[in-house]
């Protein structure tokens, strides 16, 4: 079974990977039992080799769908052709490995349903992220027309103040799109006066200002319907807002991989498109198993050292 | 990076390896990469703020291009003057003027945040917790009981006016377990987040960078 998991490496390297992995773990266990300290650089090396091997092997593991992610998918699935969706990408390049797959999957889903997307960001670095996501989505939808199918209003400085204003008057903060074109001349923005006019808001973020601020400054005062995609590090703090203040959430790579799975189940045409988050989950699982074993070894070492100390006293 | 140039990808790979070299020990290559990162970040933010706040927000707001259909917003002059007063901090004789925009920011933020924070983080959270214990499915019912017991015992742990003894002490101990599970879940999610960053970089090095490297040389 293990060899099947690492089949991407080929049979020889697959054996080599698992034998090295097992030998390394055995050595670490031996060091723990004998009470000897392992230098932190050796731990880094092991973690690096483990993740590298898993990435090269292209390990793909099954993903279980959860209700909290399915709610975001089902809401978009339930929208009608021509409905407008606001997609806020509030992250920087360091959050991209986790959040870009979500943004790409949601964009693909919306474009497949012929929904119109307005992209925006509360982060100064978010402009480049929007450009990347649009470029990725356009691979599957090369005929998208700017202004009719989607628009990009970009970034405006002001953090929470931006949200406070767009909750009641979108054009007051964003009178033009990112290239200076008036929103009135973009058909995608026809009839949009404030955030509540969008059928659905998806805020994808990794910090502040982000999802929490969207709930506080937009959802509460305007009553807009919102779903979110959060970096794993901030997800636990955001679950209390589900389901009353946001109807669904994608938490980290796991949430993104669930969304990718649902998208491919309902729309098989996306099976040929790269599932970035699903690819991350294999190495992620291997790294987690390695980390859990390290915690177990460290505890064995701790209790044995305590026992030795008690015996010598 | 769908539109990155080959030379850009090549440099990004070298910088990634340079930053990783810190894991062995602090070294000149790491220092160079760190300095480049700080310098590029500072320059990026300076340009971004100038373009976004001063040009797009203020200049185009006050002097909208003819035919754009956007009306001039003279209120923006108020923000511009307050912003200019902040710079008085650098002139010792009139540095007291910088307290006015600061007072405005503190007052406006506190006023704006107070009610919204109270509604979304206190009232709505209490409302969400006060749900019927018996739900449609066994799993949801178990979830409701877990939330109720977790909330009550967690609050008991932070109630220090009564000694943690007897039934009260037992409930406080359950509260500690609830807190430990919460911290464990947070730690697990943090690990997942950090691993995603590492995997993202590895994926970049092994796929984009290696492919690009092969094409360049």
Judge whether B7 lies within some domain.
no
Judge whether B199 lies within some domain.
no
B120: chain A residues, CB-CB within 8 Å = 215-216, 219-220, 241, 245
**CA–CA gap between residue A270 and residue A4 (Å, rounded):** 24
Identify the architecture of domain A67-272 in CATH: 3-Layer(aba) Sandwich (3.40)
Residue A300, classified by CB atoms within 10 Å of its CB into exposed (0-12), middle (13-18) or buried (19+), is middle
Cβ of residue A217 closer than 8 Å to a chain B Cβ: yes
- Mean pLDDT along residues A290-303: 91
pLDDT of residue A168: 93
Q: How confident is the model at residue A87 (pLDDT cuts 50, 70, 90)?
A: very high
Do B206 and A56 count as a contact with CB atoms less than 8 A apart? Answer: yes
Q: How confident is the model at residue B2 (pLDDT cuts 50, 70, 90)?
A: low
Cβ of residue A123 closer than 8 Å to a chain B Cβ: no
DSSP state of B1: -
* A57 in Cβ contact with A101 (< 8 Å): no
Interface test with A, best of B49, B71, B137, B193 (most A CBs within 10 A): B193
Judge whether B24 lies within some domain.
no
Do A125 and B200 count as a contact with CB atoms less than 8 A apart? Answer: no
* A259 in Cβ contact with A250 (< 8 Å): yes
Q: What does the domain layout of chain A look like in residue ranges? A: 2-59+276-312, 67-272
Residue A152, classified by CB atoms within 10 Å of its CB into exposed (0-12), middle (13-18) or buried (19+), is buried
Cross-chain CB nearest to B197 (options A97, A221, A279): A97
Judge whether B137 lies within some domain.
yes
Q: How confident is the model at residue A8 (pLDDT cuts 50, 70, 90)?
A: low
- Mean pLDDT along residues B35-45: 95
Do B68 and A180 count as a contact with CB atoms less than 8 A apart? Answer: yes
Judge whether B190 lies within some domain.
yes
Cross-chain CB nearest to A220 (options B53, B65, B120): B120
Average pLDDT of chain A, as a whole number? 91
**Count of beta carbons in the 10 Å neighbourhood of residue B163:** 9
Q: How far is CA B106 from CA A207, B73, B118, in A?
A: 21, 24, 18
Q: How far is CA A290 from CA A8, A29, A32, in A?
A: 20, 12, 15
**CA–CA gap between residue A200 and residue A117 (Å, rounded):** 10
Range(s) of the domain holding residue B179: 131-194
Q: How do residues B152-170 score in pLDDT, each as one tens digit?
A: 999 999 988 888 889 999 9
Q: How confident is the model at residue B3 (pLDDT cuts 50, 70, 90)?
A: low
Higher pLDDT, A307 or A201: A201
**CA–CA gap between residue B93 and residue B88 (Å, rounded):** 9
Judge whether B147 lies within some domain.
yes
| Alpha helix ranges (H) inside chain A | 2-5, 11-33, 40-57, 67-77, 96-112, 126-140, 160-166, 170-173, 211-214, 220-222, 235-238, 252-266, 276-312
Number of domains in chain B: 1
Cβ of residue A19 closer than 8 Å to a chain B Cβ: no
Handedness of CA A96, A99, A102, A108 (dihedral sign): negative
Q: How do residues A145-180 score in pLDDT, each as one tens digit?
A: 999 999 999 998 888 889 999 999 999 889 889 988
* Min distance B176 CA to chain A CA atoms (Å): 18
Cross-chain CB nearest to A288 (options B48, B109, B191): B191
Cβ of residue A261 closer than 8 Å to a chain B Cβ: no
What residue of A is the nearest CA neighbor of B205? A52
Question: Is residue A2 scored above 60 in pLDDT?
Answer: no
B116: chain A residues, CB-CB within 8 Å = 216-217, 220-221
């Amino acid at each position: 079974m293990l060899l099947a998991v690492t089949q991407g490496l080929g049979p020889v390297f697959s054996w080599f990977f698992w034998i090295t992995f097992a030998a390394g773990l055995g050595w670490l266990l031996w060091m723990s039992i004998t009470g000897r300290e392992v230098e932190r650089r050796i731990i880094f090396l092991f973690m690096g080799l483990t993740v590298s091997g898993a990435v090269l092997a292209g390990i793909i593991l099954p993903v279980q769908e959860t209700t909290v992610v399915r709610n975001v998918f089902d809401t978009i699935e339930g929208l009608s052709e021509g409905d407008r969706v606001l997609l806020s990408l509030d992250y920087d390049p360091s959050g991209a490995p986790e959040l870009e797959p979500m943004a790409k999957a949601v964009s693909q889903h919306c474009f497949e349903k012929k929904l119109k997307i307005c992209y925006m960001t509360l982060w100064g670095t978010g402009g480049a992220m929007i450009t990347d996501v649009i470029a990725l989505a356009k691979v599957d939808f090369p005929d998208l027309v700017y202004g009719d199918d989607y628009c990009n209003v970009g970034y405006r400085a002001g953090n929470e103040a931006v949200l406070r204003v767009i909750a009641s008057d979108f054009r007051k903060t964003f009178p033009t799109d990112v290239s200076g074109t008036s929103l009135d001349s973009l058909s995608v923005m026809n009839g949009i006066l404030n955030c509540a006019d969008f059928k659905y808001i998806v805020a994808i973020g990794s910090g502040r200002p982000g999802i929490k601020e969207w709930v506080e400054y937009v959802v509460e005062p305007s009553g807009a319907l919102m779903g979110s995609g959060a970096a794993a590090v901030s997800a636990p703090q955001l679950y209390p807002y589900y389901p009353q203040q946001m109807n669904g959430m994608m938490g980290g790579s796991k949430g993104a991989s669930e969304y990718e799975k649902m998208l491919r189940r309902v729309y098989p045409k996306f099976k040929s498109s790269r599932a970035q988050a699903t690819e991350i989950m294999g190495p992620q699982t291997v790294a987690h198993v390695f980390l859990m074993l390290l915690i177990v070894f460290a505890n064995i070492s701790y209790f044995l050292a305590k026992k030795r100390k008690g015996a010598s006293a | 990076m769908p539109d990155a140039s080959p030379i850009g990808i090549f440099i990004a790979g070298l910088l990634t390896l340079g930053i990783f070299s810190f894991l062995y020990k602090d070294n000149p290559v790491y220092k160079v990469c760190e300095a480049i990162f700080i310098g590029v970040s500072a320059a990026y933010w300076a340009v971004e703020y100038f373009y976004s706040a001063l040009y797009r927000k203020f200049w185009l707001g006050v002097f909208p291009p003819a035919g754009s259909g956007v009306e001039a917003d003279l209120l923006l002059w108020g923000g511009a003057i307050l912003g200019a007063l902040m710079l008085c901090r650098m002139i010792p004789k009139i540095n007291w003027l910088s307290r006015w925009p600061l007072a405005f920011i503190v007052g406006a933020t506190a006023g704006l945040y107070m009610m919204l924070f109270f509604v979304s983080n206190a009232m709505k959270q209490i409302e969400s917790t006060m749900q019927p214990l018996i739900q449609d499915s066994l799993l949801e019912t178990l979830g409701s009981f877990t939330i109720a017991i977790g909330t009550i015992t967690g609050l008991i742990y932070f109630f220090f006016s009564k000694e943690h003894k007897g039934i009260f002490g037992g409930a406080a101990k359950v509260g500690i377990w609830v807190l430990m599970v919460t911290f464990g879940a947070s730690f697990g999610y943090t690990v997942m987040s950090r691993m995603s960053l590492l995997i993202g970089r590895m994926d970049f090095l092994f796929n984009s960078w290696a492919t690009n490297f092969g094409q360049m040389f």
